[in-house]
Structure 1
């Protein structure tokens, strides 16, 4: 065990350090697994795809929404593979769907610890791991089945491998980094590639050896990315369209289009669809991530302070050799944050607050590492002023987020502000008494950590479902992430909920479909939009076709194709809510199929649903 720890962390862990690491891992496990089943299926869109992949290997490979293989989800399938294997092994439960993400969360905390531990003290690595634990976005998404949990784990692993490459320049670390980035690309496509400029730029500057060989290594790393990410795309595109599910999120049944339009430049520039009705709009701009509580409260509590501390630490290390590994750690972390913040701040397409989980590990690494670099400089007043300024930034940011978070928010904001002012004063004056210094650390920790801790605790204490979960103070949930109607905002919440979460499966309809005689049908039913279809598929554990894909705006199936499926006996029932508020304004293709069904088949009202028997045509239709 000591050898493994030394290989990961650079130097052997002392017994006390090992106990501290064990405590950190235990805290992470408790945080990410506690009451995990309160989130139900999590995101039903991905949960249904995991259920389909567990039932059918073709659906597994392509990331199909249903085991009938009608249409895929609008992401590449790596995260679906993980959940599908878990469901295949343990059955369809909340734990099998969400457990893999919780394990990834624990793994990310461990990787963050060891990335810092290689060139900094145990205490700095513990600070980094603790800061990551306190990130609300991490507390939310490592308990959820969106692709972001796997993406963040892989990005952190890539950072660790590049640090190893910076130590000895071995090719295996570069190739390993390329393979990991390729796997991240299969998880969330273009978002994984945002890390490349940071990794490549810093390695070219601070890597060992001559520049020429380093450049050749990076080119080889790109080849590893292409191989790891490209094999699936080549197979998927080479498969005949009639022999695979439709590429969800595309208009031309092309996975390349999904990459470029839905999850690539289209999302960055604003050309991609698939948005969530009712989500808070944050106009693009340099302050987007911190001026809106829906964004900043998920992961930007320490972002301004981390930037200031990074600059101060780099100034202190300016005379170190080019390949200094402590400075390389800071540069890798800072460049990672800069790459993602630049895109998130100015992208014109759909953006969700939980995206900030992608910058949680590097912020944690910066806080832990800069603390060690700056601590010896506390005897100099300028650096004590820097520390006080960083604490003040944390206090001001926390005051802004907490003030609008809940009915108790203003009181909590004043408490944090009081901690901040006392902490700043104690940071400026050089305290000689050990007890006073410890007291100052308590105030600093309270200023920086109380707000994120409250938001993270609320994320664990309350249930979340839907496509855009958010960690928030109790009493301030939105329709996008809470299943409790009493917490929804006023207005057309039912209609918004249908688009954002999918209406819960009607128990009467589920009982009716279970008793129905449809053994020859490829799909037990079809329903407009993937979010509502998913609820019935998960309840029945039978394939339900999501007409029009995610939000009804994908041109599959066409009326002609749907008619052919009906004539072949592949679909038995069509389900649509009686109030017809399930789908948003982009659902033109699903609406066309729904109109055709209404015009040709008999309808029975069951609960809130109109159920059409596709074997009973209307007279003269």
Structure 2
């Protein structure tokens, strides 16, 4: 096995010159990136506002620099979204440059997807060569949940891009024990925190252990470099928390998702420990039942991410076997720790967390799965003369084909039989591929790629062809709309009629907010339709204590709010504020109601 590892070792060590890329690599990479761009950009506007909650915040950022900086839901700065606003910074700048439209809101995420594929190629290539890098990039591009989120406007797209860039920086740092590159990895993860808070930190154990074990320098220097990177991470993530906490509360919007107007509470509570324990104050769902590893293979999540999970697990074990007796600084083993640790920690948290979790979160697993499949697949192919290597590679193809068959069974498509037959046939051919001619072996390799990527690729194309909107999108054909156009739910958005839209726009310049309504999603619908600020009472879930009844009464008395939209409702939350319910009841008691386009309207002025 030692000889096998030496023969199939990674590209040249840092001390030796890096050979020039083969002539086919750049055209192949260009084709991969172009194909990814077409997949993620084509027909993008079909999803409309996608997640209107974030689209309305991008609209607000395009109108007000203060709203842009804090991530406010409206340009009048009543309340922020319940995340740190890095993704909104990008969307808000796009709105300022190109005007407000579905395209200007969604295109940044599509370009982030192309950038993620490119960065993953670069990271894998530096360790395992261009073939592995191209395979990893293709797997990422053809993962259904990746196509879902890179064509959507949730912060997950920016998070994935920054984490892949962080991994690339760690790979560069490992080559020559570079504190500069390791610090840049800390900066990338720190800004990932500004996209989706503590979820970004799930990759840190893998990054840190890989460097600590494999960097080519003394233990003391490795520890010192890690401390420096930790400092870079703290600064790049913490500066924003410090600014918001120190900013006078009276001069900034309320921090959505918190009960005390504190971004630290939001970080550690609703978007932090609460996601693990299920104790999320203000949540509408409460704690979920205890999870298991099977969650990633369950009906909700499997269609987005499960296609190559078994292959990634086999690849991880294979890479450990291939590098078992390699030197401490072996970069292939370090990369296995990096990507395998990323997959294990993030996948473990997603599997067992008891708080709010949605299927699209699994996009954070896609780069690790792709990198392991690309690295492991190429290494095993090169070592296929060894019976264990060919057996592992054959098993990976079989499990991938079986997984695709099961996932496609729910769609009742003939494609599942094609994938299964191709996979089983190729698995047999792999076992004898080292005895075939060069052309025959290449044919087996091409067949393995087709068998492994056909199912997920078809599902990815179907996902991209389906318009998606609402708060909880999911991958797959015909799965795009959560709640559709109907109203009445805090988690859905509506398409306001022409009459209600015209009503909101009339004399809008005379008010700070043209209307107020309970919850951020209903408010976003009216705001995007009218083009003017709408106050989201209680934030996303309607359970934040902003504004209080007394504050709202002062706003009304001073003529700052024109209409109240909707009727009183009971919000069943886990310990959240009932101020929004009190406001709705006060309005219904003191003002006369009319109905416009099926919406209950109270004139407050």
Same fold, judged at TM 0.5 (above)? yes
User: How much does 1:593 deviate?
Assistant: 1.3
Q: Cα 1:105–1:282, aligned 2, differ >3 Å: closer, same or farther? A: farther
1:473 aligned onto 2:487: no
349, 353, 362: which one aligns with 2:355? 349
Aligned equivalent of 2:11: none
Secondary structure of the residue aligned to 2:132 is: helix
Aligned equivalent of 2:145: 137
Distance 1:69 1:170 in 2: 43
Aligned equivalent of 1:3: none
- Provide Cα deviations, 1:510-539, integer angstroms capped at 9, x if missing partner: 011112x24331111111110010011111
Which aligned pairs between 1:49-68 and structure 2 lie closer than 5 A?
A: 49-68=57-76
53, 76, 81: which one aligns with 2:89? 81
Distance 2:168 2:601 in 1: 53
Distance 1:397 1:77 in 2: 37
User: How much does 1:274 deviate?
Assistant: 6.4
User: How much does 1:138 deviate?
Assistant: 0.9
User: How much does 1:103 deviate?
Assistant: 1.1
User: How much does 1:250 deviate?
Assistant: 0.8
Distance 2:415 2:407 in 1: 10
Q: After alignment, is 133-142 or 582-591 more displaced?
A: 582-591
User: How much does 1:450 deviate?
Assistant: 1.8
Aligned equivalent of 1:509: 500
User: How much does 1:550 deviate?
Assistant: 0.2
Count of aligned residue pairs for this structure pair: 587
Aligned equivalent of 2:544: 554
Aligned equivalent of 1:429: 432
- Provide Cα deviations, 1:574-607, integer angstroms capped at 9, x if missing partner: 1116xx7897667843222111111111222101
Aligned equivalent of 2:206: 198
Distance 1:582 1:571 in 2: 23
Aligned equivalent of 1:288: 295
User: How much does 1:469 deviate?
Assistant: 1.2
User: How much does 1:136 deviate?
Assistant: 0.7
1:276·1:500 contact (CA, 8 Å) conserved in 2?
no
Q: Cα 1:251–1:275, aligned 2, differ >3 Å: closer, same or farther? A: closer
1:101·1:150 contact (CA, 8 Å) conserved in 2?
yes
- Provide Cα deviations, 1:5-42, integer angstroms capped at 9, x if missing partner: x9xx9653343211111111111111111111111111
- Provide Cα deviations, 1:305-334, integer angstroms capped at 9, x if missing partner: 111122112211222211112222222111
User: How much does 1:502 deviate?
Assistant: 1.5
Distance 1:251 1:280 in 2: 18
1:298 aligned onto 2:299: no
- Provide Cα deviations, 1:237-258, integer angstroms capped at 9, x if missing partner: 1112211111101111111110
Distance 1:66 1:52 in 2: 5
- Provide Cα deviations, 1:477-526, integer angstroms capped at 9, x if missing partner: 2652x74x7xxxxxxxx56x7333212223210011112x2433111111
Distance 1:253 1:350 in 2: 21
Aligned equivalent of 1:266: 274
417, 420, 424: which one aligns with 2:420? 417
Distance 1:435 1:21 in 2: 23
Q: After alignment, is 454-463 or 428-437 more displaced?
A: 428-437
Aligned equivalent of 1:445: 449
Distance 1:339 1:518 in 2: 50
Secondary structure of the residue aligned to 1:195 is: helix
Q: Cα 1:119–1:338, aligned 2, differ >3 Å: closer, same or farther? A: same
Distance 2:429 2:580 in 1: 62
Q: Cα 1:185–1:116, aligned 2, differ >3 Å: closer, same or farther? A: same
- Give structure 1 stretches of 5+ with no counterpart: 1-5, 486-493, 616-621
Distance 1:436 1:10 in 2: 30
Distance 2:69 2:119 in 1: 29
- Provide Cα deviations, 1:444-483, integer angstroms capped at 9, x if missing partner: 2233212211221112111101111111124xx2652x74
Distance 1:555 1:506 in 2: 30
384, 387, 407: which one aligns with 2:393? 387
Secondary structure of the residue aligned to 1:350 is: coil
Distance 1:527 1:144 in 2: 25
Aligned equivalent of 2:179: 171
2:401·2:420 contact (CA, 8 Å) conserved in 1?
yes
Distance 1:526 1:510 in 2: 14
Distance 2:48 2:356 in 1: 25
Secondary structure of the residue aligned to 2:61 is: helix
Aligned equivalent of 2:103: 95
Aligned equivalent of 2:161: 153
Q: After alignment, is 131-140 or 296-305 more displaced?
A: 296-305
User: How much does 1:560 deviate?
Assistant: 1.2
Distance 1:569 1:151 in 2: 41
Distance 2:462 2:277 in 1: 34
User: How much does 1:440 deviate?
Assistant: 3.0
2:490·2:542 contact (CA, 8 Å) conserved in 1?
no
Q: Cα 1:380–1:519, aligned 2, differ >3 Å: closer, same or farther? A: closer
189, 203, 207: which one aligns with 2:197? 189
Distance 2:287 2:277 in 1: 18
TM-score w.r.t. length of structure 2: 0.93
1:10·1:117 contact (CA, 8 Å) conserved in 2?
no
Distance 2:573 2:173 in 1: 50
- Provide Cα deviations, 1:417-446, integer angstroms capped at 9, x if missing partner: 222221222223345144543443344223
User: How much does 1:273 deviate?
Assistant: 5.3
Distance 1:503 1:542 in 2: 16
